[in-house]
Structure 1
């Protein structure tokens, strides 16, 4: 092994050691395993709640049927989608919308009061009346992406609070 290769290997090992020593974690890894389970309350047919349940289960977290004192609780208070007109075609039909997905939720961890959080996610959506079916499918995909992003954001907040 040459001196240059040995130096690179040593540098790599020191860099990896420093990253693990400072508590760095990849973005997909959440420190949610501190708790045995999480209680999630939401409206009955909430698509955001369904995504959250799926993400929690993928992290091997038990979903509780009722709140418990030693487990965090997540309450989805409100999620809604608004459309704001951005531009019009010359004939007066809407050419472009801004989609605004609003989420309001609270998290209560053991020994603390519930904290309320809210955020908005934005997307631009170009409408074309000549391609209504394709644009409807594009809108569905965009909404699914917004819900997925909202669920990840809620889980990151839960991870930060519980850490």
Structure 2
């Protein structure tokens, strides 16, 4: 245990952000990804600032979007399977440093079934929530890495 703590090892999910007074998060007004990020920051007891501060990091969500690419079709020509591509672009500004720009894509396959439209719509909502959650965790890990 002493060896692990001495080398700087931290369990995943623990963020070394407590050295800052807070974090400023800027995003579109109704961004679901921003809502998840706010929730995660607050769960780590990190204060969300209402405006940027020179001694605190800023996270700016520039864009998050979802694209669908057709992977396969039913014999009647309807889409049988999609590939969902969730793209995120963001910027992290640390105190007294230049801004760091990042972008990534997350992929999921989604099988459509027109006979079960309601169930498939719910499955798609759950998949999108999972993609946003994964994106939020990735952004927070990147913020933690830059802050360390």
Bin of the TM-score, shorter chain as denominator length: over 0.9
Report whether the alignment pairs 1:49 with 2:34: yes
CA shift, 1:30, in A, is 1.0
More helix by share: 1
- The CA distance in 2 between the partners of 1:17 and 1:107, in whole Å, is 33
CA shift, 1:114, in A, is 0.9
**Aligned Cα root-mean-square deviation (Å):** 0.5
Name 1:7's counterpart in structure 2: none
Report whether the alignment pairs 1:101 with 2:86: yes
* TM-score, structure 1 as length reference: 0.90
CA shift, 1:136, in A, is 0.2
CA shift, 1:128, in A, is 0.4
Name 2:72's counterpart in structure 1: 87
Name 1:25's counterpart in structure 2: 10
- Equivalent residue of 2:102, what SS? strand
Name 1:60's counterpart in structure 2: 45
Aligned length: 148
Where has structure 1 moved over 3 Å in runs of 4 or more? none
* TM-score, structure 2 as length reference: 0.99
Name 2:103's counterpart in structure 1: 118
- The CA distance in 1 between the partners of 2:17 and 2:72, in whole Å, is 43
- Equivalent residue of 2:18, what SS? helix
Larger Rg: 1
CA shift, 1:160, in A, is 0.5
- Uncovered stretches (5+) of structure 2, i.e. residues with no partner: none
1:70-116 residue CA offsets vs partner (Å, 9 max, x unmatched): 00000000000000000001110000000000000000000011111
- Uncovered stretches (5+) of structure 1, i.e. residues with no partner: 1-15
